[in-house]
Amino acid sequence: MGVGLRGTAVGTGPVRELARERATATAEAVVTADPRYGAGRRVLLVRARMEGVPGAKVRVPVLLIAGDPRWARLVPSQRVRLTGRFAVPERAELLAAVVIVRGPPAAVSPPSTIQRAAERVRARLRAAVAGLPPDQRGVLPGMVVGDTSRMNPAVADDFKKAGLTHLLVVSGANLAIVVGAVLWLCRVAGLGRRRAPPFAVLAVCAFVVIARPEPSVLRAAVMGLIGLLALFTGRQRQGLPALGAAVILLVLIDPALARSYGFTLSVLATAGLLVLAPAWRARLARRLPGPVADALAVAGAAQVAVAPVLVMLSGEIGVVSVFANLLAAPAVAPATLLGAAGAVVALVSVPAARIVVWPAGLAVGWIIRVADIAAGLPYATLPWPGGGLGAVSLLLAGGVAVLILRSARLRLVAAAAMCGVLIAVVALRVLAPGWPPAGWRMVACDVGQGDALALAAGPGRAVVVDAGPDPAPVDGCLSRLGVTDVPLLVLTHPHADHIGGTAGVRRGRTVHAVLTTARTSGREQRHTGGLGTHPALGGQVWRIGDLALSVLAPSSAAPALLPGDDGTTINNASIVLVARAPGFSALLTGDVESDAQRALEGGVPPVDVLKVPHHGSRDQAPGFLAAARATVSLISVGADNDYGHPAPSTVALLRRLNTQVHRTDQEGDIAMVRTAMGVVAVPRR
């Protein structure tokens, strides 16, 4: 019922009306979570509660998308005034609107006392770790207080592939380590059971304050205390009712948790520790030392419990995650405890705190090394159907596995089958051609929430269209393709998710020229220093080898962009290209939205491949997409992105147009290859 009431609140009212009208308005909002960087670390995503719009007082959740770096300085509970364009959220979450903010925030009131105290501790911790190597100084605050603002995206990707992402967010595990240390100190000091709990409660309160008293932190505290209580007392039967009561209480307090994947994962992991871990630990302890049995049982139980939800979200199964967690486990407690101690010491003396966090940095370095090795292993993750089908099929597969383990005869049959599969995989690995497929004409690189395309222009050469948000993904993609020479780099428009990775294109390669939109505001210049830059104008044709690039947009008559132009104006300034090579053609559309698409409909030729505009957002002109008559449509999009891309309505429209839809978030790099049957898509995954 609470979810229904909250859904009604966000689906109606003045804020949703502004969003439906795509209106621009001045409003007041209270920041509810730390601002975090999105694509290219140049777009800031700010969770907030809208409290005032023209002519009305409101109280509904919104997502603010800002480009001004001053938004990063905001602290939760701070009230600000802003001007922005309202839009309807494309994801199925309890938000009244997404607001594209113009300019910096105007502070109306300061943060609360608690939030100011928390920010002071976090700032001192960042100062204390400043002397550590870059990767360590980015990871350690994340492990201690969930602050990943300075974390290298490549390291974050390694943690994700290795199944170690849970170490970077505030969770019950953090709380268990801190409370466990406090209880141990109480025991050493001679305090009895009656005098130790108050100190543990104080530790929980301090933990919540430092890590910010947000809903995610509060639920982690509740879940962590429940799991800790059950594991320490051995009363798993009491743990499950307590878990159920906590879930009900938290959902009643914040109905949005009922639709939160993070909350679901937290509950399932705790349930796994309560239901599965004790029995598994008892069985393993018969053959393994106690600490090893404990670590295996905890890691395995948590991973199995959350696996259906993870596969539903990502479309893949982490194979090495349990072993990566086992290897990382010995370093987690020292890193967390010494990091927490460093945060406390930093309040008195930052130089002294740097001495305290130095060994914590060594422990974090070990965890980073484990993540790097695990992520680099072949088949570290295996593809699996995503969505509800993937979750159900994984549960069925788990049920079959349990039946097999219970029967000696079935275990023998399964072992023989697995040996056969292993031999076949090894044979395919040796005999089958690797990546990229021979004769590729175009590759959509998997760069997360952004665009990066490579068009073959000869041996070791490719025209690159956009560079994605970060250097590492596009660099890796071009390296896998063997590209060492880039005769032309096309930056379709000056948004960070298209130009932020330019340094990755230039890394170890020769870039001869850069093509930018004639309507640019000049933001690309910070990435293209020393390169010859040319404006793209409608009617131009660029020829590189057997590849021809025809510019459809922007029009030479359109005015140049101004620094204050919003996202839609910049998107509609995108370069739109038609690429042609023997037996192949593609329409490359940048991020043009429906207005610009309709203006181009009459000039769109039929092509083999359509790069769907703006990552498959809902703002599409059906006539523009239909005019391409493409047999294959590519959507370059990041997994679990905050924009709801691609929109279900856009995917449904493409399927009605009888085009094959391929997505980088599900298939990784996608190559276009000409065959006797026409152009086909070959995914890397």
What pLDDT was estimated at residue 30? 94
At residue 400, the 3 state secondary structure works out as helix
How do residues 524-582 score in pLDDT, each as one tens digit? Answer: 888 888 898 999 888 899 999 999 999 998 876 555 655 555 678 888 889 999 999 99
How far apart, in whole angstroms, are the C-alpha atoms of residue 186 and residue 171? 23
pLDDT bin (cut points 50, 70, 90) of residue 662 is very high
Please tell me the predicted confidence (pLDDT) of residue 264. 78
Q: What residues form DSSP beta bridges with 52? A: 28, 57
CA distance 524 to 404: 58
pLDDT at 637: 93
> In whole angstroms, how far apart are CA 58 and each of 75, 76, 309, 614?
21, 18, 34, 31
Alpha helix ranges (H) inside 254-386: 261-275, 277-284, 290-314, 321-346, 350-376
Question: Which one has a higher pLDDT value, 497 or 231?
Answer: 497
Q: Between 215-233 and 261-275, two packed helices, what is the crossing angle to 10 degrees?
A: 0
Dump pLDDT digits (tens) for 623-644: 999 999 999 999 999 987 878 8
DSSP string, 21-62: TT-EEEEEEEE-S--EE-GGGTSEEEEEEEEEETTEEEEEEE
Bridge-partner residues for 511, per DSSP?
Answer: 486
Alpha carbons 235 and 229: distance in angstroms, whole number: 8
Q: Tell me what pLDDT residue 27 has.
A: 93
Measure the CA–CA gap between 453 and 577, rounded to whole angstroms. Answer: 12
| Rounded Cα distance, 5 and 99, in Å | 22
Check whether 352 has a pLDDT greater than 90: yes
- Alpha carbons 178 and 217: distance in angstroms, whole number: 14
Decide: 375 and 472 in contact? Cβ < 8 Å.
Answer: no
121 vs 562, residue with greater confidence: 121
Measured CA to CA, the distance from residue 181 to residue 202 in angstroms comes to: 13
Q: Is 148 exposed, middle or buried (0-12, 13-18, 19+ CB in 10 A)?
A: buried
Mean pLDDT of the chain: 82
3-state SS of 619-641 is CCCHHHHHHHCCCEEEECCCCCC
Asked whether 592 and 572 are in contact (CB, 8 A), the reply is: yes
Task: Residue 537: count other Cβ atoms within 10 Å of its Cβ.
Answer: 16
Higher pLDDT, 110 or 67: 110
> Nearest 5°: phi and psi at 607?
-135, 170
> What does the alpha-carbon distance between residue 665 and residue 648 come to, in Å, rounded to a whole number?
15
Question: What is the pLDDT, as a whole number, of residue 185?
Answer: 79
pLDDT band, very low/low/confident/very high, at 219 (cuts 50, 70, 90): low
Consecutive H or E run containing 104? strand 97-109
Residue 106 pLDDT class (50, 70, 90 cuts): very high
Strand partners, 587: 578, 610
Backbone angles phi, psi at 321, to 5 degrees: -60, -40
- Answer for the pair 564, 103: CB distance below 8 angstroms, yes or no: yes
Which tokens in the block code for residue 212? 């910010």
For residues 310 and 338, the model is more confident at: 338
Task: Give mean pLDDT, residues 501-523.
Answer: 89
Task: Report pLDDT for 457.
Answer: 94
The predicted structure's pLDDT at residue 511: 95
Percent of the chain with pLDDT over 70: 84
In the numeric block, which tokens belong to residue 558? Answer: 């359109």
Cα–Cα nearest to 212, from 77, 360, 333, 71: 77
Q: Which residues pair with 584 in a beta bridge?
A: 581
**Whether residue 113 has pLDDT greater than 60:** yes
**Kind and range of the H or E run holding 246:** helix 236-253
pLDDT of residue 576: 95
Distance of alpha carbon 31 from alpha carbon 65, whole angstroms: 12
Q: What is the pLDDT of residue 386?
A: 65
Can you give the pLDDT at residue 397? 76
Q: Are strands 584-588 and 609-611 parallel, antiparallel or unpaired?
A: parallel
At 475, list the tokens. 């660099």
Euclidean distance between CA atoms 391 and 640, whole angstroms: 16
Judged by average pLDDT, the poorest of 112-116, 265-269, 540-544, 622-626 is 265-269
Alpha-carbon gap, residue 179 to 183, rounded angstroms: 6
CA distance 316 to 16: 35
Q: Identify which has the larger pLDDT, 25 or 299.
A: 25
Contact of 101 with 109, CB cutoff 8 Å = no
pLDDT recorded at residue 170: 67
For 594-631, the pLDDT digits (tens) are 999 999 998 999 999 999 999 999 999 999 999 999 99
Q: What is the pLDDT of residue 452?
A: 96
Looking at residue 128, its pLDDT comes to: 92
Report pLDDT for 589: 95
Question: What confidence score (pLDDT) does residue 81 get?
Answer: 94
pLDDT at residue 643, rounded to an integer: 81
Q: What whole-number distance in Å separates Cα of residue 563 and Cα of residue 189?
A: 62
Q: Evaluate whether 95 touches 13 at the Cβ level (below 8 Å).
A: no
- The three-state secondary structure class of 485 is strand
Q: Is 95 a residue whose pLDDT tops 70?
A: yes
Looking at this protein, which amino acid is placed at residue 415? A
Phi, psi at 675, each rounded to 5°? -125, 180
- Tokens of residue 380, six digits: 């570290």
CB-based contact 75:47 (threshold 8 Å): no
Report the share of the chain in percent with pLDDT over 90. Answer: 32
CA distance 165 to 640: 14
Q: Which residues contact 119 (CB under 8 A, 6 or more apart)?
A: 75, 111
Which two tokens mark 195?
Answer: 């005098």
DSSP state of 228: H
What backbone phi and psi angles, to 5 degrees, belong to 110? -75, 170
What is the structure's pLDDT at 560? 61
What pLDDT is stored for residue 161 in this prediction? Answer: 76
Structure confidence at residue 242 (pLDDT): 72
CA 592/CA 555 separation, integer angstroms: 13
